[in-house]
Structure 1
């Protein structure tokens, strides 16, 4: 009987086992029927931060959608990995992807709570949940998670799985992965973290917002202690290490993000270029296998982008343009306060101001409210402080006279004509404290000495590149990127005015003119398109027979137009295109005076021919692009092409050096080096330019309103643009050795009488050695004033003297 009972029980148990197995198999098949493929995890390719570097390796900026930096396991401290394992999955290296004991513990707690409160997931399961499944809490999802986790462990090593986890996990503060979190919370790279800091990060995955060290430092500390206790219990740290880590002070500070700070316009231009370059067509053409293209590649592929920017150059360029535009706006006088507050609104306005003293000390401007004003100055309030603006700080607040230069208008002598109570104005910390003698013009005790400021409406651009390589060392596209990201260096098409003339004169040299050719400087008019055009010189004066060299140095418009007329506009257009000017040109003489709009970036490219002995080089900002794992995606190489002869380039260099020494580019003489350059000013001072270069550095500056608006009388290239150029170059010039422009073969120098164009003799008072292409120089018997014939070459058809030439007009 007993035997039959035992057999019955055995059969029953076997049946139950069979049923359970069948049920388990059915449950498995049911759960596995629509499982996603885990293969994409084995090819782990998460969204990563693209990093842009300056030429010295410093970070210029980042592009990202998720702030994640990929790091290898060997780059992480061993105790960091163990801290995460202690907090999340102590048996990670023992279990096959699922931990039955942890699941059982979670089931008991959930049963007692009557709800799903704990998951019991392993790190492998967490990866499955984050990358393949939804975050919903359900037994079906948990079952699918377990199946996929088990499968994944048969394809990837434990080290691979923990590497994916530590790079993927969200840790708060917009930080994905341990490297981003280390930067966000401790201002360090992950390899620099201490045990105490690593334990703080390991405590975050459970609830990043709840344990946020910035908002809840006490909770973060409690969670850190829990992690360290788990590590101690596992035998992964000693008691001494535990005690040291628990007692270590924690200092939270984010690693500064340089993005959109210094070099914001440069960074934006790199971003735009990258999006275009990382197109599917480009990548397919080079055989690159990427999962993302275009904008997605830039924001998610973790590219490493190496640029030519020199941050010292960039800072100097930004400050120079900033200062130059402020000086320009002050020359146009006071536009009025930012706004005027009613007395009831002042208190609320001041209460919102923070850190005003620190901001002033760092050179920043702050807003202030006028409290009292007298003839000698104004008392202002800013935050919890008072300041004093003396009337001498308001000297520039004069009303401009369109017919006069600013200096001809009397300065403001009464502050009440400028400010009123309640006015909100920009102020900066005064350079001197004005302490000493007490008077109504000095600040009272405790008042901050201030200067009245005004933000410019005028804009500008600066481009600076090294001609030998074409590498762009600095690029600024406006006064403030945060207020306007329109890049005037690369996107603004403006008339260059006389800054275009070197292109005209370069063509003239090849058309048979020489520096000693004489052309008449006198009023003239032309008819085309049913209209009459009367070019004139800036000063409204004319000087009769004029050397070509002098016409360029003094920027004589009528001479330039006559040269263009004689050689034909096609020669100018051909030369402009040969030098890389991309614009289309109308076939009329106005182009000789720079009527066709160009970008500063493009004009700098054209000028490289003069700095490079005749060859043009494409400006380069991006030098190389690498993938997240260091694979080469792009490598820049200089793009050089022949444009003009070395002899032509040298003659232009010499003439443009004379522009600096004796003409409108005179401010650049302060460098006390061989410098060539040309100013440019358009009608009614809409645009002002200065293009200046040496063999080692070429810099172009543009100033003007975004909408065509006169900048004011005498706001010329010499006055508005060249001071910016000079300030920038003075800041960087000492990093280069002085360098002469090289003299090519077949150049001869002849001492020329600058009045007659003849070879100088004992009776000549004003002479200069001018360069000529061998064979074109005047001799003692042949005067340099011989003008080109109709075919553009020097011939015997010219008049016999400057007086005869003058009579012809």
Structure 2
């Protein structure tokens, strides 16, 4: 019995042992099949790489052209010098010693493999598996591909792709593959200190032409590319000497040089050309040129499907012909204003001054001028605050994120009435607040835009929905930096307290929809780009337009509102003699940023002012962004004919009266309001004019002494009109709604929700106990009472924001713009 058990156990053990290799084989086969499938489907179809498109035009001067404003002919505006210096040379111009040195240290079997050195590749794989990954598996062909494509990903997927690209490349190049690859490699390899390619490296480090290099110097040039910073001859000559020795040893080992040549090279003193390391003294690029460089680099990445590094090289030294959209008269005016310190407040914090940026474009989005910072530009390729920096826009976003799309969706017109009161309770407080700490009650949208009333913007956004607002900004207008997880909310979109932020360029481009009848084509710094042979690479001379607004009336409605901002609202300082203006101010939480985005019949411009750091602008009165905008615009309009906005064909509009408390067709009761006549005239798109009679104004008996609905003790009364409007809210808040005394509780249903009545009800009734002696001259008292309550609630001017520095009435209506759920 014991023997049978032992025999059974031994049999099972043997079967298990035999099964292990079988499982391993099956697993390996399955993995092999999966790998083969992946290579066949995803790798091989993408392994063909056209090196001619990568290496093309990497040693020619790129020229930017701009129209001469006097002749309207294109002239050279600026020429570009690459991020790296490169001069292309043929292989026969490169010393044989340098060629051999590079092959010895980088890829000793270069002339015998077909793009991949399988011995080194297997060694690299083994090191990867064992954790002893020392790299070094790439051939010169593979390194060339990595340098040209810019793909530095260390993943296995990238290595597999690179292997097949290298094999395909050498196969496609045929018999001359090695010479072509080595030539491209030695012309594109980075050497540090802005030197790319062997020719510039020789001049940078030794002040010599290639044919003047000796063996020792060739070994140095072969040593540097492995780690240009570590082997920087100017900073780390001892490191360079160590690796140069290694290069020479490899050359000797491979019999590329003799012992005598090795000894001579080792003992040759290395004399570096230190003058090449001096600071670049060229004039810095203009802000406009730097914007072109950034924009075209991104565009070439997309259109040519190339890496950032290669795209940047083509822009900087690819012999391109770039036709800029710049208007030099506009740019000169901007430079004049922004380099004059007298145009800025004398304020600073911790040794830094507030900065500013501006973009001006035409209605099609062609950028005519831009400034990325105040003062004289002191360097090249700096942070361009006009195009690269994102900031919260404050109330300047309201026309784009709220009012424009809401009007286009038919939610409101400029003459709709929305209640100015808190929207909800947030963190135990009524939210939002207006900067002037007032709640005016019933308010016409046009006036709310002009006075930058937060509560109205939030309520209109609620009609539109935050999701629709976000989609308009992101999908239609192309705002790239919004954070959907945080910015699809009331505070970010209605008040501009965004998490992701916006750029000055995005804001200027966005406002073109108000100048261009609701059409949008983005923005651009150039209209056309040609390669060195005159072939068109990119053509924006007729940019594609989309209908940002689906209704023709929307742009006219919005212009009506934005004109009110500069006529009577927060932007009244934006005045230009003979030229009509429109726009919107903006101020962010704690007054960290101030904005003005505005337009004229000729131009659209956006201006930002604030610190680079998170400092507020306390101590600076007025809106400096508005002051700068106005100073620039007055200069560029000085010689232009007087102009007004195109407000559309009058035949499409009708002038109609409306009640400024309900937005409805007025009745006699609207004229008899206890505060005075509440009827106004609006310019409505036909079909939008009010058709239903006002249901808020109703006749009631009032106490002539208090102006409230008469109570039992009121002895002197009269019949006037008041608002049958009861408003509810979850909590009491201060200050009270200004038109609360003009409201009473009648037949209309309450609006809002909550347990607290904030207008109507008890609040609108006189509860005083009057004596017969309380009332003297009743006619005089009545007139005085009605006059006192006259126009304050309607006009609602901002208080405490007098501009003392040439800016506009300060618009800090975004102080409640902290994002919230």
TM-score, L = length of structure 1: 0.50
